[in-house]
């Protein structure tokens, strides 16, 4: 007789296989030779694998990957620089109007990205900063910073007051308390905000496509889009580009999952 736990495990594995099948098929197509692309039925595994698509990635898409990496890391730096102090202020300093600020942060999360992109288009066009990597960092940060502030505020509100009081007794000012006490204890929040900020910037297409002025500083999402438009028959190269573009996000998710799930103040105070 199958126990309930085994049945739940089997259902979970089946659902996981269904959800991951598109990823597997992407890898399969990236290794399939061009002449086998229209086979009916298609091969479930690449019988004659080829790495021509990955060679095309290195030849054509490598600059786009570098731009995406630059934009992603820049967005992470900008988000952490702005969101961590703001979250600490809302959680521990409790300034006047903190509730209104929290409401505005929620409203900012509800605004569709395409609406913000249209606003940025007019601003960037007037300032003459279309198709700049740092312009995309600013645009992507507008999505990541409100999320980061709310995460930091929620995490830092759980820091025991005993830690903050001990720092003040030792003569630490507000900045020193934030830098030496609140920020190290909030390591899990830092990793969470950094991870999601990077993933948003790495996968952004709306801002990149709207604010692209036709120059060379294009992220990988636009690189794939342009590649499909120019080479819509070379699906192994297109899928190889998608596989390579997915690797950084996959690695980060695997490495950071325990920090995202962990409690922020575990072990900070001993009973």
Find, among 146, 168, 177, the residue nearest to 83 by Cα: 146
Alpha carbon distance 2, 180 (integer Å) = 53
Please determine, for residue 229, whether its predicted confidence score (pLDDT) is greater than 80.
Answer: no
Q: How confident is the model at residue 264 (pLDDT cuts 50, 70, 90)?
A: very low
Find, among 214, 199, 205, the residue nearest to 247 by Cα: 199
Domain presence at residue 48: no
**What value does the mean pLDDT take over residues 217-233?**
77
Highest mean pLDDT among 56-60, 76-80, 190-194: 76-80
pLDDT confidence of residue 265 = 40
The residues, any chain, with a CB within 8 Å of residue 68's CB and separated by 6 or more, are 201, 202, 219, 220, 221, 245
Least confident of 83-87, 93-97, 141-145, 264-268: 264-268
Least confident of 96-100, 120-124, 188-192, 200-204: 96-100
Domain presence at residue 34: no
Q: What is the DSSP string of 134-159?
A: HHHHHHHHHHHHHHHHHHHHHHHTTS
Domain presence at residue 105: yes
Domain presence at residue 8: no
Q: How confident is the model at residue 271 (pLDDT cuts 50, 70, 90)?
A: very low
Domain presence at residue 95: yes
Domain presence at residue 270: no
The predicted-structure confidence for 46-55, as pLDDT tens digits, reads as follows 778 888 888 8
**Average per-residue pLDDT for the chain:** 83
Question: For the domain that residue 236 is a member of, what is the CATH number?
Answer: 1.10.3720.10
Three-class SS of residue 219? Answer: coil
Least confident of 66-70, 201-205, 215-219, 266-270: 266-270
pTM given for the model: 0.82
Domain presence at residue 112: yes
Helix residue ranges per DSSP H, 89-178: 98-110, 113-127, 133-156, 161-169, 174-177
The predicted-structure confidence for 114-127, as pLDDT tens digits, reads as follows 888 888 888 888 88
pLDDT confidence of residue 266 = 41
Structure tokens at 167: 């720092």
**What value does the mean pLDDT take over residues 238-261?**
82
Decide if 197 contacts 148 (C-beta within 8 A): yes
Let me know how long the chain is: 271
Query: How many separate domains does the chain show?
Result: 1
Please determine, for residue 19, whether its predicted confidence score (pLDDT) is greater than 50.
Answer: yes
Domain presence at residue 187: yes
Which range marks the domain in which residue 145 is found? 62-261
Question: 255 vs 195, which has greater pLDDT?
Answer: 195
């Amino acid at each position: 007789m199958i126990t309930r736990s085994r049945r739940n495990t089997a259902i979970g594995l089946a659902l996981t296989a269904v959800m991951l099948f598109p990823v597997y098929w992407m890898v399969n197509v990236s290794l399939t030779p061009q002449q086998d692309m229209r086979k009916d039925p298609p091969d479930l595994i690449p019988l004659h694998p080829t790495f021509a698509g990955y060679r095309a990635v290195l030849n054509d898409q490598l600059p786009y990957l570098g731009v995406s990496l630059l934009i992603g890391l820049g967005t992470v730096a900008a988000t952490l620089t702005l969101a961590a102090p703001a979250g600490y202020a809302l959680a521990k300093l409790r300034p006047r109007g903190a509730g209104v600020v929290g409401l505005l942060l929620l409203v900012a999360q509800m605004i569709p990205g395409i609406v913000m992109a249209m606003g940025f288009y007019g601003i960037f066009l007037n300032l003459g900063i279309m198709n700049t990597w740092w312009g995309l960092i600013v645009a992507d940060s507008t999505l990541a910073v409100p999320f980061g502030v709310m995460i930091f505020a929620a995490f830092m509100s759980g820091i025991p007051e005993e830690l903050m009081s001990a720092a003040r007794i030792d003569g630490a000012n507000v900045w020193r308390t934030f830098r030496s006490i609140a920020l190290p204890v909030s390591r899990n929040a830092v990793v969470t905000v950094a991870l999601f900020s990077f993933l948003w910037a790495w996968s952004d297409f709306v801002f990149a496509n709207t604010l692209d002025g036709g120059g060379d500083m294009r992220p990988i999402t636009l690189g794939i889009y342009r590649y499909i438009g120019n080479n819509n028959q070379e699906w192994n190269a297109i899928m190889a580009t998608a596989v390579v573009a997915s690797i950084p996000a996959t690695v980060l998710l695997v490495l950071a999952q325990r920090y995202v799930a962990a409690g922020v103040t575990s072990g900070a105070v001993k009973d």
